[in-house]
Chain A
Amino acid sequence: MQFDQLLQYTLSGLATGAIYALIGIGFSIIYNSTGIINFAQGEFVMLGGMLTLFFLELLKLPLWAAIPCSVLASTLGGVLFERLAIRPLRQPTPINLVIITIGASILIRGLAMLLWGKDTHSLPPFSGDEPIAIGGATILPQHLWILGITVVVIVANKFFFYHTISGKAMRACAYNRRAAGLVGIDVRRMVLFSFIISSAMGSVAGIIVAPLTMTAYDVGIMLGLKGFCAAIIGGMSSGLATVVGGLILGVLESLGAGLISSGYKDAIAFIILLLILFIRPQGLFGKADTERV
């Protein structure tokens, strides 16, 4: 086993893990303010990539303009989803809500397929595709974008949740919905906010990974599941724990594929998911009962 091989596995794993982390945080933000797992999260990742492509190719916008447009459009999708499918529900039991999100994910995927077809598409990289050598290993400029944007998003998240009124109000809803309502916080508005934030983050994730992984109407399923794994490992926290969860998942997958067998790559992710759910349902880093935001 050579050192540069090991380095390459780790670097590749970290880059993939950052993607999982970004998607995972989207899951946990919604979980914390509504108590549901939003299985449509992966579809917002898909929407990010596909909408960027739509703005690039059909409306002929430059990349720097297509990206914010795409994030805005996906966020609008998130708002519509919350308004039309989540809010009107008479009896918002978790199981009803989860089933609604699954239904919505199928609907969004189907619409995307009808609108944009079944082909896979590629986005141009943000800043060239000349590999960068680190030790004996190489990464692409796009990987740096992914790592960088993940860091920015995490920091912005932290700031929002701890230093702004809306963020604090959302945390209050996470602790105790009823009490938050009693002190005058509009809980439903906070739920809407959580959908806005997570759909925006999902689409950002979808956009920055598209130059590497390519995008199609059905990329949301697998990426969504992996993001869900990351969130579970991180104990559904919307902070650092989920990021670490995603990175661990990415590195383990990559090492597993390199050192054991590539046939077990996905199995590794889902075995970790099951083990965590069985043994440490509060997440790898959580105490039995912990703050979630």
Chain B
Amino acid sequence: MKRFLTVCGAACMVALWTSLAFGAGTIKIGGLFSVTGPASFLGEPEKKTLEMLVNEANAKGGVGGMKLEAVIYDTTGDATKAVQLATKLIKDDKVAVIIGPSTTGESMAVIPVVEKEHIPLISCAAGIKITDPAKRWVFKTPANDHVAAEKILNFMAKQRQKTIALLTVTDGFGASGREQIKALAARKGFKIVADEVYGPKDTDMTAQLTKIRGIKPDAIICWGTNPGPAVITKNVKQLGLKIPLYMSHGVASKKYIELAGSDAAEGIMLPAGKLAIYDVLPKSDPQARLLREYDHAYRKTYGMGASTFGGYAYDAFLLVTGAIKKMGPGTEQIRNGIEQAHKLVSVSGVFSMSPKDHNGLDLSAFEMVRIHKGDWSLLK
């Protein structure tokens, strides 16, 4: 019996010692990204970015004297899986904070879990529902879709364009954009004269555009991610439409120009996140340097350019490490630190959080650009 107690005591001591050692030495950051599956274009760069940043930080001696450890799971874009993996991160891996998930659906599913367990979550999805209304433990880094929509409408107002034809993709991104533009347009005195949609895998949109041509709007706003908008751009050229065409921030990458061809893409206007256009930003822009460094580091590590989506994980990482430096490594401390982030310069924009605003970005997150000779040129 006595011997048993000694063994128990020793075991307890060992357990206590190791947990202390880990507790003091490493901070675990959980990652939930849809690395494979339909949303892999989001999850893959997010995962790669987080891994790169954690390695970088550890090579420089960690954050606040502590090493970081990233525990990343692949949700495959499945909300049920995301919930299971979130629970696993919290219960088994005992992470201090979770970055992700990549899509709005998954984020909404995970929110009740982190609210109950009191673990800060920084979603990498754009849906406005995630932080509106603000939830105590939930933040997100991508700017709301309505910020991009507002950017376009403000620009249109300056051009005195009054009537809009909408052409949106029938997935979550398109549906959200369509809703936001309609709501904003009504408030700002625009008139929606056509409301057309297309499927994410559609290969020809001349029918919708022919219909729009008959209606003669002042401008067309297309809301979707590649390849749809590239097809539409080609179709517009084929039909010889002279109506100004605005795209969403969803195609703010050189890939879009490459797909549509610089000929067809000439004159297309869109709100772009600053990562896509950092080389045309003025020197005075606060983000210019950070964006260049991120892109170069990403190119060096993975042999390809950084994407806006990976940037969402970059933002989340900066928010977390900023909070740890300022407040400490506890979950409550990290949460408070994130909420107090003020003028934090990152990839998606300059974050200023508050208890009411758990996104922290405003109109300055985007710039209106026009495509000229296969490159971006800033619109003033």
Contact = CB atoms under 8 A, between A and B. Distances in A.
B240 interface: yes
Contact of B240 (A119, A138, A216, A218): A138
B239 A219 contact: no
B345 interface: no
A265 B202 contact: yes
Given A2-B214, A119-B255, A8 B231 contact: no
Interface stretch (A76-84, A186-194, A255-263): A255-263
A138 B202 CA distance: 19
Interface in B123-148: none
Interface string A130-146: 01000000111000000
A185 B44 CA distance: 52
A266 B199 contact: yes
Nearest to B198: A262
A164 B340 CA distance: 79
A179 B45 CA distance: 58
B206 interface: yes
B41 interface: yes
A8 B206 contact: yes
Interface stretch (B12-20, B113-121, B256-264): B256-264
Contacts of B230: 120, 122, 214
Nearest to A9: B207
A31 B40 CA distance: 35
A263 B240 contact: no
Given A138-B239, A219-B201, A265-B198, A258 B234 contact: no
Interface in B224-274: 226-227, 230-231, 234, 237-240, 255, 258-261, 263-264
Contacts of A212: 203-204, 231, 234
A50 to B, nearest CB: 14
B26 interface: no
Interface in A223-279: 223, 253-255, 257-258, 262-263, 265-266
A138 B204 CA distance: 13
A13 B264 CA distance: 22
Name the residue in A15, A129, A219 with the highest tally of chain B Cβ atoms < 10 Å from its Cβ: A129
A131 B204 contact: no
B259 A120 contact: yes
A34 interface: no
Contacts of B204: 12, 15-16, 212-213, 254
Contact of A129 (B40, B259, B261): B261
Contacts of A121: 259
Nearest to B225: A120
Nearest to B213: A5
Interface in A109-139: 118-122, 129, 131, 138-139
Contact of B211 (A140, A209, A214, A258): A258
A221 interface: yes
Given A129-B237, A214-B231, A255-B207, 20 more contacts: A5-B211, A8-B206, A8-B207, A13-B207, A15-B204, A118-B41, A120-B230, A129-B261, A129-B263, A129-B264, A213-B203, A213-B204, A219-B201, A254-B207, A257-B196, A257-B208, A262-B198, A262-B208, A262-B211, A263-B197
9 contacts: A5-B211, A129-B237, A131-B237, A131-B239, A212-B231, A212-B234, A214-B230, A253-B207, A265-B207
Interface of B: 40-41, 44, 170, 196-199, 201-204, 206-208, 210-211, 213-214, 226-227, 230-231, 234, 237-240, 255, 258-261, 263-264
Interface of A: 2, 5, 8-9, 12-13, 15-16, 19, 118-122, 129, 131, 138-140, 209, 212-214, 216, 218-219, 221-223, 253-255, 257-258, 262-263, 265-266
